[in-house]
Amino acid sequence: MTEGPRRGRRPGRPDTRAEILVAARNAFAEQGFAGTTIRAIANAAGVDTALVHHYFGSKDDLFVAALEAPVDPREVISAAVAGQPEQAGEALVRAFLSVWDDPGLQPGLLALVRRVLEPGGDRLVRDGFVPVVLVPIGEQLGLDRPSLRMPLVASQVIGLILARYVVRLEPVASLHPEVLVGIYGPTIQRYLTGELPPG
């Protein structure tokens, strides 16, 4: 008869938290956010589900932790759009650029992009980041059709990040942040609050 996962920290294994994160990252990449359960992650890490909750709280919090981003994107985006929805486009671009231009944060953010580009990493964005981080922000803003609008926002922001920080495409890579805010802000604003075709 096989034993179930041990409760609490396993003897001689001080890296239990890290092992849970590895199990979570693998599960989210393979099964997507909706198809992954805390119980499955706990089983893969060889711990009790209560220990997963102890370290990470909710499934949403575990997903964000598994991204290993140097900042919590929910906090950055929520703060950026906390003002008027009509000004959220420029505020959002400005917030993303300020985080990415921070030399202390950029290495961790680039490492996150590399993980997303690995096999299965697309699910971290499609099945995790968009529904867990972005769509709730759209709901917070009271937007109509947030499940359409927020992926459109993501398409612009991801493109900007890849062009400026990964590919270093000129002149995008060298433009002053406020110039990029002026270029990208109105487009993202249209995605957030502008009229969209039906469908």
E strands in the chain:
none
Q: What is the pLDDT of residue 81?
A: 83
Above 60 in pLDDT, residue 9? no
The domains of the chain are located at 16-66, 68-193
**pLDDT tens for each residue of 62-91:** 988 887 788 888 888 888 888 677 889 999
The encoded tokens of residue 139 equal 């709901």
- CATH class of the region 68-193: mainly alpha
What tens digit of pLDDT does each residue of 112-168 get? 888 888 777 787 788 788 888 889 888 888 889 999 999 999 999 999 999 999 999
Q: Work out the burial of residue 184: count CB atoms within 10 Å of its CB; fewer than 13 is exposed, 13-18 middle, 19 or more buried.
A: buried
CATH architecture assignment, domain 16-66: Orthogonal Bundle (1.10)
Q: Is 66 exposed, middle or buried (0-12, 13-18, 19+ CB in 10 A)?
A: buried
Instruction: Enter the pTM of the model.
Output: 0.76
